[in-house]
Chain A
Amino acid sequence: MLFAPELLLLTGSLVLFCLTLGEGKGKVAKNVALVLAIASSILSLATLRLEGNLFFDAYRIDLFSQVFKFAMSVGLVAVLVLGSELKGVDDDVQPEYYLFMILSMLGLVMLVSSVELLTLFIALELSSYSLYLMVPMRSDHKGLRVQMEAGIKYILFGALATATMLYGMSFIFGLTGTTYLNALVPKLHGIASSPTAMLAIALFMTGFFYKLAVFPFHFWVPDVYQGASNATTAFIASIPKLGAVALLIRITTLIAPHAGETVVTMLMILAVCSMFYGNLSALVQKDVKRMLGFSGISHAGFVLLGLLTLDATGFATSMYYIAGYLFMNLACFVVICKVSRDGENVLVDDLSGLYKRAPLLALTLLVGMMALAGIPPFVGFMGKFMLLTGALKAGHLTLVILAALNTAIAIYYYLSVVRVAFCSSPEERPDVRIDFMTRFVSIALIVVIIVMGVAPKQILEIATSAVRTIL
């Protein structure tokens, strides 16, 4: 039972593998994947309160890991529904596409449970390599081969980040002689402020900075977001980030109370750079996905605000924020995937008059964008508010003021998308038709974004107790 979600995904990927052997089973593969995602959310919910170790203590099931598994599975359901027609991927590779998506999901699910360096590395690579393959699978109507460029960039930067991370791991092993996180903690505490340990932790983190797209590990973001098909981007932009935050929290807890100023300073600098870089670059974007990519960089900076407080509340806030980010981001991607007619990229201008063409999608876009911008009563506001409170409590006044300024900068580009959708006329653009499932997912996302923003009490309590299980 402990291993149920993983087993399910593993069996599922075998089934999908068999499907890839035949031809033209795109629809079947999609349904299998959807069933898997739904079942995996139910299973992770059922195993929420279980605890236990597996595989010689290299793999740990606890509230922390199961919460993340649940959030990721729910996200996967939404991704599968919003990309249901998979307009951007050729029919003959669709079963493979779903196979890799489930494999990547399996990697992420394993990642949040790994408490041993090598297990962790394998899980991360399983998820990354499947993603690397999903990017170039976009169908190439125009012959520009942007998806190939995106794929190459993704894999090269990814390999670089992985190498740095491995280098950091080797330092950690060299310093402590163990690869188990539990055993690492006491050994690292003694030497936490030594330069080597700092370097080791910093290098170790880069792998996850890369996944989360923190400056300066963000270089893949704009091109991959733009080059990958809409549904792929929706996946890349949301679910792996949850895994990255989970692991960053784990790594930070390794050194949490004793970490010298150095790690905090490093996180602060990265946070400020990410926020400014992301927001300022997003201001001039015309492609909605690219814009969301840059906005994602700035949100990654915000998440770091919770990490650098180095206390349980801060970590819990980061969890809350990234979970909220998952839903806000997916709300925007629902609109992108549905507005795009044959899987092409959506420019900001393509959203013109959306409130006449598809009122529900326009509302989803409004809620998603405003939530990302941090306008109450949505989850984005509550998350930002609590992150700022935590950071100010930890005494980082300058950082908080800079972050607040960033909120003001960011509003402009989110608002310009909303403006196009609500204030301009549709001209010649056709109405957008949405099916029942999309309608359901849109409404569900709106409700979740509002409820999480208005009533964060329960979610925060769960997140806090989840964080306490790993401290």
Chain B
Amino acid sequence: MDFLIMNEGFPLLSTLIFLPLAGAFILLFLPGENVQRIWTMLVTTITAVISFPLYSGFDSTTAKYQFGEHMSWIPALNINYTLGIDGISLLLVLLTTFIMPLCVLGSWTYIQKRVKEFMVCLLIMETAMLGVFMALDFVLFYILWEAMLIPMYLLIGVWGGPRKIYASIKFFLYTLAGSVMLLVAIIALYLQTGTFSIPLMMGQGYSTTFQIWVFLAFFLAFAIKVPMFPFHTWLPAAHVEAPTAGSVILASILLKMGTYGFLRFCLPITPLATLNLGPYILWMSVAAILYGGFTALAQSDMKKLIAYSSVGHMGFVTLGIFFLNRHGVEGAILQMINHGVTTGALFLCVGMMYERTHSRELKDHSGIAQNLPIFVSFLTIFSLSSLAFPATNSFVGEFMVLAGAFSVNKIIAGAAIPGAILAAAYMMRLLQYVLFKGPGRPDIADLNLREIVTLTPLLFFVFWIGLAPEPFLSVMHTSVDSLLEQVNMAKAAHLALNMVP
């Protein structure tokens, strides 16, 4: 257990996981829709507040997993309940706890039917998502990873738009089909190492062939979740049909699980396969960036536009990861957080408009800048952030990714550059419609206080990360260095092995 710094005293991580679940259970017995909304808000806010000590108590000088908890679960198979976070998962955990209250606020009036069930689904989602980022046991990880499917399916399938059935089934089948081979890979790893502990699986000298097979099984599951081109087709459907909170959760947190999977599993467990197959994935990322950009340019549905832009943005993240240098990986992690903040905010904006106009078409919102100055100010800033305008958060992330890229491979890096221009083009097109074209909509009202409160924290982070990213980057340095060290050591060991005559 030398990889884990045990948490003495209050089990913070378990509390974070089980608090929303307990909240969901109590919610089942609460009457009245407003009481239910307030209760959910309360639970998610408390979860967010008690997650702050994770940051303040985080020791950024060690690459070990912190706040660790360890309990025997199924001894027959050596399965344990092991939790812990490091510099890679810390920010994602905080992002999750921080986004959830905003999701509840954002669906305050959007959800009118079956409020209780909706909120129960949200809280169960929060439990599973937090667990995925904290789990250090592969079975625990897999259980939570899959357990997320049912509440998410219901969120889309029950509260979704007109094509919700198609979208929810596609989401479920795609994700499940991808994860099936992941399970086989996990079992294969267990049979090699005799443990399901994720840190103990790292740095073992598996043969290259074995690593490649395991990597491919991992890759299928995670690439679908990211989603990487050409596995992305479930995403636009799910995004468009999901209710606002569903879209926000999907974009801000669920997609991050794919890239988190790459960082947590592919790189350290199968380093040789990563080195072998990395270049192909880099080109797939470039394809995703360009494809996402071009497709977003052609959309007239605002949600679809943002969904395709997500494909492009996540392409930058995978690009950064598989260049395997410090700038790239740190930029990728930061970009994961940025995308969560920015795209989440954009989906909230679209949801707010949908509540007013019952349309997501660009042309139905032309010229609303005249009538809704506050809304449009928010929208403009988030759009600029989405296209990586300097002084906003995405600029820092994208800059770091590209800086890392140019130091390794100028051709691939150069190929990704048009993606940044495309991002500017499609976001500008959106802004052009909303700001300048058309007569405006005098019939709709500007944002109310609740909506302003929902968006303001996100705005705050856009600028904080954009102007002073150091507090976010400093926590990940050690973990990222140790991750890259693991990959390099495997490479060196492999080379040394081949040198032996």
Interface residues of A (CB under 8 A from B): 313, 355, 366, 370, 375-377, 381, 385-386, 388-389, 392-393, 397, 400-401, 404-405, 407-408, 411-412, 415-416, 418-419, 422-424, 456-457, 460-461, 464
Could you mark each residue 221-252 of chain B with 1 if its beta carbon is under 8 Å from any beta carbon of chain A, else 0?
Answer: 00000000000000000000000000000000
List the B side residues contacting A422 at CB < 8 Å.
154, 157-158
Give the bracket for the number of chain B residues in contact with chain A.
20 to 34
List the B side residues contacting A464 at CB < 8 Å.
76
Pick the contact of A412 from B144, B147, B173 — CB < 8 Å? B173
Query: Does B74 contact A411, Cβ atoms closer than 8 Å?
Result: no
Query: Does A376 contact B184, Cβ atoms closer than 8 Å?
Result: no
Query: Does A381 contact B143, Cβ atoms closer than 8 Å?
Result: yes
Total inter-chain residue pairs, C-beta < 8 Å: 82
Query: Does B75 contact A366, Cβ atoms closer than 8 Å?
Result: no
Query: With contacts A392-B184, A400-B187, A419-B168 known, is A366 near B150, CB below 8 A?
Result: yes
Query: With contacts A355-B158, A415-B169, A456-B74 known, is A404 near B183, CB below 8 A?
Result: yes
Pick the contact of A457 from B75, B142, B184, B188 — CB < 8 Å? B75
Q: Which of B53-61, B99-107, B174-182, B276-284 contacts A (4 or more CB under 8 A)?
A: B174-182
B18 on interface, CB distance cutoff 8 Å: no
Distance from A411 Cβ to chain B, minimum over Cβ atoms (Å): 5
Query: Does A375 contact B75, Cβ atoms closer than 8 Å?
Result: no
Query: With contacts A386-B77, A392-B187, A423-B164 known, is A404 near B180, CB below 8 A?
Result: yes
List the A side residues contacting B425 at CB < 8 Å.
none
B73 on interface, CB distance cutoff 8 Å: yes
Query: With contacts A412-B173, A419-B168, A456-B74 known, is A392 near B147, CB below 8 A?
Result: no
23 contacts between A and B (CB under 8 A): A313-B76, A375-B147, A376-B143, A376-B146, A377-B143, A385-B139, A385-B183, A386-B77, A388-B183, A389-B77, A389-B191, A392-B184, A392-B191, A400-B184, A400-B187, A404-B184, A405-B180, A407-B180, A411-B173, A416-B169, A419-B169, A423-B158, A457-B74
Q: How many Å lie between the Cα of A299 and that of B146 in the bound state?
A: 20
Q: How many Å lie between the Cα of A411 and that of B157 in the bound state?
A: 16
Q: Given contact pairs A313-B76, A381-B146, A423-B158, enumerate 6 new A-B contacts (beta carbons under 8 Å).
A: A400-B187, A401-B184, A404-B181, A408-B180, A415-B173, A422-B157
Query: Does B158 contact A376, Cβ atoms closer than 8 Å?
Result: no
B149 on interface, CB distance cutoff 8 Å: yes
Distance from A245 Cβ to chain B, minimum over Cβ atoms (Å): 19
Q: How many Å lie between the Cα of A15 and that of B190 in the bound state?
A: 55
Q: How many Å lie between the Cα of A464 and that of B77 in the bound state?
A: 13
Q: How many Å lie between the Cα of A397 and that of B142 in the bound state?
A: 20
Q: How many Å lie between the Cα of A411 and that of B139 in the bound state?
A: 20
Chain B residue with the shortest CB-CB distance to A407:
B180
Chain A residue with the shortest CB-CB distance to B76:
A460
At the interface, is chain B mostly helix, strand, loop or mixed? helix
Query: Does A423 contact B187, Cβ atoms closer than 8 Å?
Result: no
Query: Does B173 contact A377, Cβ atoms closer than 8 Å?
Result: no
Chain A residue with the shortest CB-CB distance to B168:
A423
Query: Does A388 contact B146, Cβ atoms closer than 8 Å?
Result: no
Q: How many Å lie between the Cα of A389 and that of B143 in the bound state?
A: 15
Pick the contact of A370 from B144, B150, B173, B181 — CB < 8 Å? B150
Query: With contacts A404-B183, A419-B165 known, is A389 near B142, CB below 8 A?
Result: no
Name B90-137 residues within 8 Å CB distance of A: none
B172 on interface, CB distance cutoff 8 Å: yes
Chain B residue with the shortest CB-CB distance to A460:
B76
List the A side residues contacting B181 at CB < 8 Å.
401, 404
Chain B residue with the shortest CB-CB distance to A373:
B176
Q: How many Å lie between the Cα of A386 and that of B74 in the bound state?
A: 11
Q: How many Å lie between the Cα of A327 and that of B369 in the bound state?
A: 58
Pick the contact of B187 from A389, A416, A418, A460 — CB < 8 Å? A389
List the A side residues contacting B153 at CB < 8 Å.
415, 418
Query: Does B188 contact A392, Cβ atoms closer than 8 Å?
Result: yes
Which 4 A-B pairs have CB atoms at the shortest separation, nearest pair first?
A376-B143, A423-B157, A408-B177, A404-B180
List the B side residues contacting A375 at CB < 8 Å.
146-147, 149-150, 176
Distance from A469 Cβ to chain B, minimum over Cβ atoms (Å): 17
Query: With contacts A419-B165, A422-B154 known, is A411 near B143, CB below 8 A?
Result: no
Query: With contacts A377-B147, A400-B187, A423-B158 known, is A460 near B169, CB below 8 A?
Result: no
Distance from B381 Cβ to chain A, minimum over Cβ atoms (Å): 36
Chain B residue with the shortest CB-CB distance to A409:
B177
Chain B residue with the shortest CB-CB distance to A453:
B143
Q: How many Å lie between the Cα of A101 and that of B205 in the bound state?
A: 59
Distance from B148 Cβ to chain A, minimum over Cβ atoms (Å): 10
Query: Does A388 contact B184, Cβ atoms closer than 8 Å?
Result: yes
Q: How many Å lie between the Cα of A289 and that of B279 in the bound state?
A: 50
Q: How many Å lie between the Cα of A292 and that of B158 in the bound state?
A: 24
Q: How many Å lie between the Cα of A370 and that of B172 in the bound state?
A: 12
Distance from A149 Cβ to chain B, minimum over Cβ atoms (Å): 35
Distance from A161 Cβ to chain B, minimum over Cβ atoms (Å): 33
Query: Does A411 contact B187, Cβ atoms closer than 8 Å?
Result: no
Distance from A277 Cβ to chain B, minimum over Cβ atoms (Å): 19
Query: Does B190 contact A415, Cβ atoms closer than 8 Å?
Result: no
List the B side residues contacting A377 at CB < 8 Å.
143, 147
Q: How many Å lie between the Cα of A308 and that of B217 in the bound state?
A: 25
List the A side residues contacting B191 at CB < 8 Å.
389, 392-393
Q: How many Å lie between the Cα of A346 and that of B212 in the bound state?
A: 47
Query: Does B74 contact A415, Cβ atoms closer than 8 Å?
Result: no
Q: How many Å lie between the Cα of A412 and that of B75 in the bound state?
A: 33
Distance from A331 Cβ to chain B, minimum over Cβ atoms (Å): 15
Distance from A409 Cβ to chain B, minimum over Cβ atoms (Å): 9
Q: How many Å lie between the Cα of A134 and that of B77 in the bound state?
A: 42
List the B side residues contacting A366 at CB < 8 Å.
150
Pick the contact of B76 from A392, A397, A411, A457 — CB < 8 Å? A457
List the A side residues contacting B168 at CB < 8 Å.
419, 423
Residue among B73, B76, B164, B191 with the highest chain A CB neighbour number at 10 A:
B76
Q: How many Å lie between the Cα of A409 and that of B157 in the bound state?
A: 20
List the B side residues contacting A411 at CB < 8 Å.
172-173, 176-177
List the A side residues contacting B139 at CB < 8 Å.
385
Query: Does B172 contact A460, Cβ atoms closer than 8 Å?
Result: no
Chain A residue with the shortest CB-CB distance to B142:
A376
List the A side residues contacting B180 at CB < 8 Å.
404-405, 407-408
List the B side residues contacting A416 at CB < 8 Å.
169
Q: How many Å lie between the Cα of A464 and that of B139 in the bound state?
A: 21
Distance from A415 Cβ to chain B, minimum over Cβ atoms (Å): 6
Distance from B295 Cβ to chain A, minimum over Cβ atoms (Å): 27
Query: Does A388 contact B76, Cβ atoms closer than 8 Å?
Result: no
Query: Does B73 contact A457, Cβ atoms closer than 8 Å?
Result: yes
List the B side residues contacting A381 at CB < 8 Å.
143, 146
List the B side residues contacting A423 at CB < 8 Å.
157-158, 164-165, 168
Distance from A324 Cβ to chain B, minimum over Cβ atoms (Å): 14
